[in-house]
Amino acid sequence: MSIEVISILVLFLSFFILLLLKVPVAYSIGISTTVSLLLNIDKLPGITTIAQRMTTGIDSFALLAIPFFVLAGEIMKRGGIANRLINFAKSLVASLPGGLAYVNILASMLFGAISGSALAATSAIGSIMTDRMEKEGLPRAFSASVNITASTTGLLIPPSNILIVFALASGGSASVAALFIAGYLPGVLLGLALMGYVAFVAIKRDFIKGTRASLSEVLGYFSKAIFSLLLLVVVVGGIVAGIFTATEASVIAVLYAAVLALIYGEVGVKDFPDILLTSAKTTAVVMFLICTSMAMSWLFSFEGIPELMSNFLLGQFSNKFAIFLVINIVLLLVGTFMDMTPAVLIFTPIFLPVVVALGMEPVHFGIVMVLNLCIGLCTPPVGTILFVGSGIANISVTQVVKPLIPFLIIMVIVLLLVTYIPEISMLLPRLFDL
């Protein structure tokens, strides 16, 4: 057995063993990468190389957007923006049977898109909506399932931090602007699909209807939410039009959100130190994950793993649709135990050459990969959103799992549609010539 094969086995075995021992993902990635590399080269150059790759891995102008979008999302979560979006969503769909479930999904789509964070959407929308939904007769576990799955739509609808990470991992073959605009239709399709299942359950269980809002009430709530909604137009519109980059857009988002929160009066100047500290902690976690993941990604390239995987898949399967299905299954499994950021950084260099060789565009694959990993956020054992959503609803994960399964099936169906119908992702980028 060659040293390269032994190195690859050590890399994967040590990584999974560390995960089973509940070592944090970033440390598991860093330790397994270092151990594997030391089988090939001496200790001093090996450790120096890992440190260098971790440092250069985050030496990217595009990655500066992440801390600013994290900060903007934190300001929005505390600044009263979620309440205004919920009230606007409620005025549109609350009159339907089980209407607050639709409100949860629509508000999550709007807030998740504006904040760029599924975690922020889960906590902000869930903390407001869960009790309201229970009062209107919706089971608490069902409400939590709605909140958990709906919050992932904001990872597809721009601005989205994970799409920025994919742009970095793709080596420039997929631009941030193209990924942002490509995420709209899949994100909306996912939201509508979840609403479709809610409608089925509402009719079957005879959920009560809310009161219908008058046109003047709808316009009133819209006028209160319009400045929050305009952030999407300013940020995404500016990027697509080429007025500013994604990084510059993230700074504008922070300034816009801060001014809006101060005007709304729900955040004062004295609150900003705590907001900055919370955002810095979140950013530190994300950046450390990126550091170690970029080192592991480099090691994959060093060991020739992308070429091995490409040759294996292309040799085993003659049908590209079968290969796409296999890649989807692998990514779904990866999403159950690995966070999105390291998963994107580690597996993009492995699978991107394969799908490009089969005719799939990098932007299309980016959306497919992110949607795959969105499902992973909602599934045990690692599913971050699953645990946060359950905690906010004050119920156990085991209580949520049963009502959550049909929502996950809906998400998988949407994933297959997005995978095998490229136009869902690529229509808008082609229309805007991105």
Cis peptide before 186 (omega within 30 of 0): no
- Is 231 in the same domain as 360? yes
Same domain, 297 and 312: no
Whole-number pLDDT of residue 115? 67
The strand pairing partners of 97, in sequence order, are 209
For tokens 């049908």, name the residue: 319
Closest CA to 345 of 299, 305, 290: 290
Q: In this structure, are 30 and 77 located in the same domain? A: no
> 40 with 121, same domain?
no
Distance CA 179, CA 183 (A): 6
> pTM score, two decimals?
0.86
* Total number of domains constituting the chain: 2
What is the pLDDT tens value at each position of the chain, 434 positions in all? 566 678 888 888 898 898 888 888 888 889 999 998 888 888 888 889 989 988 887 887 778 888 888 888 888 878 777 778 878 888 887 777 777 888 889 888 887 767 667 777 787 788 878 888 888 778 899 999 999 999 999 889 888 889 989 998 898 899 988 999 999 999 999 999 999 999 898 888 877 666 677 888 888 888 888 888 888 788 878 887 788 888 888 899 899 889 988 888 888 889 999 999 988 888 888 888 888 888 888 888 887 777 777 788 878 887 889 999 999 999 998 888 788 888 898 889 889 999 998 999 999 999 999 999 999 889 877 777 888 888 888 888 889 989 999 999 999 999 999 999 999 999 999 998 88
Q: In terms of domains, do 28 and 153 share one?
A: no
Residue 264, SS3 per DSSP: helix
| Residue numbers of the domain that contains 42 | 1-57+292-302
DSSP states of 146-158? HHHHHGGGGGTSS
120's tokens: 């922020």
